Amino acid sequence: MRQVLKSNEPQLNAFTVDVEDYFHVSAFERGIDRSEWDAFECRVEDSTLRLIDLLAEHGVQATFFVLGWVARKFPGLVRRVAESGHEIASHGFWHRLVYNQTREEFRADICQSRDELQAITGQSVTAYRAPSFSVIERSMWALEILVEEGFRVDSSIFPVRHDRYGVADAKYEIHLRETPVGLICEFPPSIYRLSRLNVPIAGGGYFRLFPMGLVRRGWNRLAKQGLPGMFYIHPWEVDPDQPRLRVAGRLARFRHYVNLRHTEDKLSRFLSCYSFNTLSNVLRQSGFAAFAAPSEINAASG
C-alpha cells in the first residue's frame, strides 16, 4: 500500500492538535465534574490562535482534532481553524475515555462531535482521535463503530506502555485494521524503537520532558526508514500562565505542568527541522489516499 516517494519529494509528517482546554484533561476528571466545566476560565481560544500563528510562521498545515464541547462553545474558533487551511477532525464530544463508555455511549459521543463540527465547517469529518489515546485492547470494539459511522482514519492506538493507555505491541507505522464492517486506517502516534523499548516521541508531555536531542534522534530514524511521523500537541501546552489545578496527584500534575514555559520555543525549533502537513495529505503521499478526507486542502511540504 505504501507509495515510493520521488527523489525530490520531501517526506511529509502529520502535525496534529488536540483542541481541548486545561480543565478537560483525563488526569483531572476525577476532581472536575463535566457539569462544572462552564465555571472554569476558558483559555482554549487564545492558546489555539497562538498555535495557528506559529504554524503560519512555519508554513505548516495541520489537522485539528477538536473536542465537540469546545466546538459548541466556540464555533468561531473552529471556523477560524478551517479558514486558515487546516483540517478538522473529531476528538469526541465530552472527553470521556473510550474504555469507560458503553458502545451506545461511544456512538452517541462521536456522532454528536462529528455533527457539530460538520455543521460549523460544512466539511466532512472522517478522522478521529480518542481522548488520552484510550482505544486499547479492551476497547478495540470502538473501531467497528467508527467505521459504521463513516470514519476512515483513527489515531488513537499508541504503541507504548502507560498506566492509562497504550498497546505496547501495536504496529507503529500507518496500517489498515480490519473490523467486522470494513477497514479503517490507523495512523499511530510516533515512537522510537530503542532496543526493546518503544520510546514515545510523538508530542505532548513526552515532547516537553525529553531533551530535543532524543526527540530528533527518533524523528531522524523515522526519516531514514521512510516512515511518516505523527506529532500531537494541545493548546494548553503553549499556555504557561493557565490556572494551576490541585485536583489530581503529584504525578498527574507533573505530567501536565512540566516545562510549559519552554514548549512554544521548543515547538518552533522542532517545526523548523521537518516537513509537516495534515493527516490526510500525509496519507495521500503515503499510498493511503482512499482513506484521506475529501477536502480542498492542497498538499504542501511545510
Q: Give the three-class secondary structure for 198.
A: strand
**31 or 299, which is more confident:** 31
Helix (H) / strand (E) containing 13: strand 13-19
Q: Please enumerate in sequence order all residues whose Cβ is within 8 A of that of 188, keeping only pairs 6 or more positions apart, or say none.
A: 155, 157, 158, 159, 170, 171, 172, 173, 174, 230
Instruction: Give the 3-state secondary structure of 61-128.
Output: CCEEEECHHHHHHCHHHHHHHHHCCCEEEECCCCCCCHHHCCHHHHHHHHHHHHHHHHHHHCCCCCEE
Q: What is the mean pLDDT of residues 83-88?
A: 97
Q: Which is it for strands 191-194 and 197-200: parallel, antiparallel or unpaired?
A: antiparallel
Q: What is the mean pLDDT of residues 145-171?
A: 92
**Per-residue pLDDT at 1:** 44
**Per-residue pLDDT at 299:** 39
Cβ–Cβ < 8 Å for 108, 72: no
% of the chain at pLDDT higher than 90: 84
Residue count of the chain, please give it.
Answer: 302
pLDDT of 300 above 70: no
Instruction: Please state, in angstroms and as integers, the Cα–Cα distance from residue 3 to each residue in 9, 283, 302, following that order.
Output: 12, 10, 20
Q: Please enumerate in sequence order all residues whose Cβ is within 8 A of that of 295, keeping only pairs 6 or more positions apart, or say none.
A: 87, 123, 124, 280
DSSP 149: T
pLDDT of 5 above 70: no
pLDDT band at 166 (very low <50, low <70, confident <90, very high): confident
pLDDT band at 295 (very low <50, low <70, confident <90, very high): low
Average pLDDT over all residues of the chain: 93
What are the tens digits of pLDDT across the range 90-120? Answer: 999 999 999 999 999 999 999 999 999 999 9
Cβ–Cβ < 8 Å for 85, 61: yes
Beta partners for residue 192, in sequence order: 199
pLDDT of 165 above 90: no
From CA 87, how far away is CA 215, in angstroms rounded? 25
Phi, psi torsion values for 297, nearest 5 degrees: -75, 125
- Number of helical H runs and strand E runs in the chain: 10, 11
Q: What is the mean pLDDT of residues 209-233?
A: 96
From CA 88, how far away is CA 210, in angstroms rounded? 29
Q: Which is it for strands 175-179 and 182-186: parallel, antiparallel or unpaired?
A: antiparallel
pLDDT of 8 above 80: no
**Per-residue pLDDT at 194:** 85
**Per-residue pLDDT at 169:** 87
Question: Considering only CA atoms, which of 208, 187, 182, 192 is closest in space to residue 63?
Answer: 187
| Low-confidence winner among 60-74, 154-168, 254-268 (lowest mean pLDDT) | 154-168
pLDDT of 19 above 90: yes
pLDDT of 13 above 70: yes
Domains in the chain (CATH in brackets) are: 13-291 (3.20.20.370)
Q: What is the mean pLDDT of residues 285-300?
A: 75
What are the tens digits of pLDDT across the range 41-53? Answer: 999 999 999 999 9
pLDDT of 7 above 80: no
Q: What is the mean pLDDT of residues 231-258?
A: 93
Q: Distance between terminal CA atoms of the chain?
A: 24
Helix (H) / strand (E) containing 183: strand 182-186
From CA 298, how far away is CA 282, in angstroms rounded? 11
**Per-residue pLDDT at 109:** 98
From CA 299, how far away is CA 5, in angstroms rounded? 14
Q: What is the mean pLDDT of residues 1-27?
A: 82
**Per-residue pLDDT at 301:** 36
